[in-house]
């Protein structure tokens, strides 16, 4: 595996590969890698000649500075996992390679700041207003900002993202379409621990006691999937609302059943061709998300 920290050197290397007609797959990550990330690399390896993984903890997508500071950073272990996965190229830039001082200082205003669009008008409509967007103001602008920059650097044929971050996928697909980027976005399934917990870099911040509780999140989602055909949506929402007692260490931030395309809340399954149930919970300072496609 070749490791690049410099944008310029990576670009030159990838230009050479493209000139030799190699197809490039790309999986952007924030590191603290687990088998969920590795599954993206494996799927990319099957579909492309070469796979680039990036590790960059993107400051502009964190609305909470404590979360950013506490975000796990485990580069040595990440390198081992990537080597085992036969990843071809790792791009691990420092912040100044990606952002100017001005862009970082503008961060406070980045909800409205769309300078990363290179002059093209971009509008996510309601996609970035609901669920994660409503609870983490500016988060998706930061995500789209960094992914658009990374896409311009790597210029992949295909980019691989996890269904785990369902709303993020919708945002990226919308961004690529609006910016007319010739990149195919591939959705990869959620990889779970044996007890059903969706793998996440944040899981390692859980205490032993919290770790024992969190498999209930996916159990609840799977239960909703089992019963949704025989229960109206308001009853399904009640099931979730009543599931965790007030004194539970798990606090549900939101549970939504949304149309898979628009991400708008569904009140009746008859009105949507496909639906996904999404949940966000908080355990002290650790925030976890999960989802299950209902149909
Ligand atoms: P992150 O490092 O959390 O920004 O995630 C990088 C990529 O890995 C995103 O496309 C995520 O959706 C994906 N990912 C994270 N966790 C999982 C998982 N458990 N299963 C599949 N993909 C995942």
Q: How far is the CA of 162 from the centre of ligand 1 (A)?
A: 5
Among 284, 283, 287, smallest CA distance to 135 is for 287
Domain end position, chosen among 139, 161, 188: 188
pLDDT per residue as tens digits for the range 220-231: 999 999 999 999
- 295: in domain: no
Q: Return the residue whose CA atom lies nearest to atom 7 of ligand 1.
A: 29
Cβ atoms 217, 279 nearer than 8 A:
yes
Q: Is 37 a catalytic residue?
A: yes
**pLDDT for the residue 64:** 85
Judged against a pLDDT cut of 80, whether residue 270 lies above it is answered with yes
Domain that holds residue 282: 206-287
- One domain for residues 172 and 211: no
Query: Bigger pLDDT: 157 or 113?
Result: 157
pLDDT per residue as tens digits for the range 122-155: 999 999 999 999 999 899 999 999 999 999 999 9
**pLDDT for the residue 217:** 98
- One domain for residues 131 and 56: yes
**pLDDT for the residue 67:** 86
Domain end position, chosen among 160, 188, 216: 188
Please state the domain count of the chain. Answer: 2
Instruction: Read off the pLDDT band of 105 (50, 70, 90).
Output: confident
- One domain for residues 135 and 222: no
CATH for 85: 3.40.50.620
**pLDDT for the residue 169:** 98
**Residue showing tokens 């969920």:** 36
pLDDT per residue as tens digits for the range 181-202: 999 999 999 999 999 999 999 9
- 198: in domain: no
Query: How far apart (Å, rounded) are the C-alpha atoms in residues 262 and 44?
Result: 27
Ligand 1 pocket by C-beta < 6 Å: which residues?
29-30, 36-37, 39-40, 161-162, 164-165, 188, 190-191, 198-201
Judged against a pLDDT cut of 90, whether residue 113 lies above it is answered with no
Query: How far apart (Å, rounded) are the C-alpha atoms in residues 26 and 40?
Result: 9
**pLDDT for the residue 174:** 98
Q: What is the 3-state secondary structure (H, E, C) of 75-102?
A: HHHHHHHHHHCCCCEEECCCHHHHCCHH
Beta bridge partners of 50: 24
pLDDT per residue as tens digits for the range 21-33: 999 999 999 999 9
Mean pLDDT of the chain: 95
- 254: in domain: yes
Q: Return the residue whose CA atom lies nearest to atom 14 of ligand 1.
A: 162
Q: Which of the listed residues 40, 55, 215 should we mutate to test ligand 1's pocket, taking the one with most ligand atoms within 8 A of CB? A: 40
- One domain for residues 36 and 182: yes
Instruction: Read off the pLDDT band of 104 (50, 70, 90).
Output: confident
- One domain for residues 21 and 159: yes
Query: In the chain, where do the E strands start and end?
Result: 2-4, 24-29, 50-55, 89-91, 158-162, 184-188, 251-259, 275-283, 286-293
Q: pTM surpassing 0.85?
A: yes
Ligand 1, atom nearest to 165 Cα: 12
- One domain for residues 116 and 238: no
Q: Which of the listed residues 164, 186, 205 should we mutate to test ligand 1's pocket, taking the one with most ligand atoms within 8 A of CB? A: 164
Among 245, 243, 249, 211, smallest CA distance to 227 is for 243
Ligand 1, atom nearest to 191 Cα: 20
3-state secondary structure of 153: helix
Instruction: Read off the pLDDT band of 111 (50, 70, 90).
Output: low
Judged against a pLDDT cut of 70, whether residue 110 lies above it is answered with no
- One domain for residues 56 and 167: yes
Among 291, 259, 263, smallest CA distance to 277 is for 291
């Amino acid at each position: 595996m070749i490791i690049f920290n410099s944008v310029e050197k990576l670009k030159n290397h990838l230009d050479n590969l493209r000139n030799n007609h190699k197809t490039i797959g790309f999986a952007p990550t924030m590191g603290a890698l687990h088998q969920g990330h590795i599954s993206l690399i494996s799927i990319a390896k099957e579909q492309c000649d070469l796979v680039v993984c990036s590790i960059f903890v993107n400051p502009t997508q964190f609305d909470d500075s404590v979360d950013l500071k506490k975000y796990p950073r485990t580069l040595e272990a990440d390198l081992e996992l990537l080597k085992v996965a036969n990843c071809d190229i790792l791009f691990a830039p420092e912040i100044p390679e990606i952002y100017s001082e001005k862009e970082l200082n503008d961060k406070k205003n980045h909800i409205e700041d769309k300078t990363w669009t290179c002059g093209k008008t971009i509008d996510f409509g309601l996609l970035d207003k609901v669920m994660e967007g409503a609870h983490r103001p500016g988060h998706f602008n930061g995500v789209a900002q960094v992914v658009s920059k990374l896409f311009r650097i790597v210029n992949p044929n295909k980019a691989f993202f996890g269904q785990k971050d369902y709303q993020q996928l919708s945002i990226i697909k919308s961004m690529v379409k609006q910016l007319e980027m010739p990149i195919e976005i591939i959705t990869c399934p959620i990889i779970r621990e044996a007890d059903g917990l969706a793998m996440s870099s944040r899981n390692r911040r859980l205490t032993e006691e919290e770790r024992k509780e969190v498999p209930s999140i996916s159990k609840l989602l799977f239960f909703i999937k089992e019963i949704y055909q025989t229960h109206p949506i308001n009853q399904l929402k009640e099931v979730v609302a009543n599931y965790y007692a007030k004194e539970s260490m798990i606090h549900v931030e939101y549970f939504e059943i949304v149309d898979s395309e628009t991400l708008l809340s569904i009140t009746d399954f008859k009105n949507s061709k496909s639906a996904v149930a999404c949940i966000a919970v908080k355990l002290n300072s650790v925030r976890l998300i999960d989802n299950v496609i209902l149909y």
